[in-house]
Structure 1
Amino acid sequence: MMQAVDIEKYKQLALQKQKEHRKFLATLKKKAPKNLDKIVQDIHHEVFQEIDCTQCANCCRTLGPDFTEADITRIAKHFRMKLPAFEEMYLQVDEDGDKVFKSMPCPFLGENNLCSIYDVRPKACAAFPHTDRKKIYQINNLTLKNTLICPAAYLFVEKLQERL
């Protein structure tokens, strides 16, 4: 079993390296190596050999996903709830017009840091921290922001920087 993740330690490291990481990620936009997508995939897999999300779950405590209509339909069906009842119980519309949780942490996060709706979780949750996507340089700001929340995102940027 992997050790517990020291979220605060990673956040402090990420804060210290924000400027450096921002500069590095900006260079990817200008001169990405031809095999960047392959390197990104390799590093993503490496990082998740080191970081066990169930030892952290900081994203589930602090970040709420934007819910798509497909997410809402799928999760409401899972609970055998009508869409308006599900939305009334769990969601609100934020200042950007997105449907998000009424409150955090995620109501589906169990005490064991496991997601009680893992198989039907929102698409945004399944994709987080977005470190395995193609053309990673298209989401530099998001990647940088995620380093403050997600130890895996921080390690990903560090390893990518080392590799390139």
Structure 2
Amino acid sequence: MKPNFKPQTDLQSIADFAIAHQAENDRFSAFIKEFNDEDIDAKVQELDALISPTISCTDCGNCCKSLMVCLNEQEADRLSSHLKMDRPSFDEQYLEKGSNGMMIMNQMPCHFLQDNKCTIYEYRFEGCKEFPALHLPHFKRRVFTTFMHYDRCPIIFNVVEQLKNEMNFERTQTQ
């Protein structure tokens, strides 16, 4: 990574770039599958550790505005208790339940997002804590999901673009 690296944080620029480079990103997804899992994980985690601190999630909040949040029974119990609500009332107000028992928040942006900040931060769900999940092992297993969020998360976008550079990936020439 260049010493004076300045991350791209403009969401419209990121979204436009993602559209213009879809074929390149598809090629990159295939390209990284040829590399050793541990090497890819180490490089992604290194870039994440360098890039994440340079980007303020509360300046963006786009994940909370545009992603479906899944939660489990324990998380729902914990948050409903914190909110001093009984579970049926909590479920009715905040959740959608699938026939398979899966639960998701019933609104985007998230009910608990205010001024790009989580109002229940200490009680947030595991998926929220993990996102964008670049610090976790098995990056290659999550490439599809990573690219689903590439156009909306400045951290993912910048890590992937730097990863392309570090791996000497042959980029598509654009006009």
Q: Does the pair score TM above 0.5? A: yes
* Alignment equivalent of 2:142, drawn from 118, 139, 148: 139
- Kindly report which structure 2 residues correspond to 1:82-97, keeping only aligned pairs within 5 A, or say none: 82-94=86-98
- Kindly report which structure 2 residues correspond to 1:59-70, keeping only aligned pairs within 5 A, or say none: 59-70=63-74
Q: Does 1:148 align with 2:146?
A: no
* Alignment equivalent of 2:21, drawn from 17, 24, 43: 17
TM-score normalised by structure 2 residue count: 0.83
Query: 1:56 offset after TM fit, Å?
Result: 0.3
Which ranges in structure 2 are unaligned for 5 or more consecutive residues?
1-6, 168-175
1:125-147 deviation line (CA, Å, top 9, x unaligned): 11111222111000111011010
For the residues of structure 2 that align with 1:95 and 1:26, how far apart are their CA atoms?
34
* Alignment equivalent of 2:128, drawn from 102, 112, 125: 125
**Cα distance change on mapping 1:22 and 1:97 into 2, 3 Å:** farther
**Cα distance change on mapping 1:34 and 1:86 into 2, 3 Å:** closer
- Corresponding residue number in structure 2 for 1:48: 52
TM-score normalised by structure 1 residue count: 0.88
For the residues of structure 2 that align with 1:138 and 1:92, how far apart are their CA atoms?
27
* Cα RMSD for the two superposed structures: 2.1
**Cα distance change on mapping 1:155 and 1:103 into 2, 3 Å:** same
Which ranges in structure 1 are unaligned for 5 or more consecutive residues?
none
Partner secondary structure for residue 84 of structure 2: coil
Check the 8 A contact 1:43/1:159 in 2, yes or no: yes
Check the 8 A contact 1:18/1:144 in 2, yes or no: no
User: Greater CA radius of gyration, 1 or 2?
Assistant: 2
1:86-117 deviation line (CA, Å, top 9, x unaligned): 11111112587631122211110012x11001
Query: 1:20 offset after TM fit, Å?
Result: 1.2
- Corresponding residue number in structure 2 for 1:161: 164
Over the matched positions of the two proteins, sequence identity in percent amounts to: 29
Deviates more, 1:149-158 or 1:86-95: 86-95
- The one-letter amino acid of 1:9's match is S
1:64-99 deviation line (CA, Å, top 9, x unaligned): 211112221221121122222111111112587631
Query: 1:34 offset after TM fit, Å?
Result: 4.3
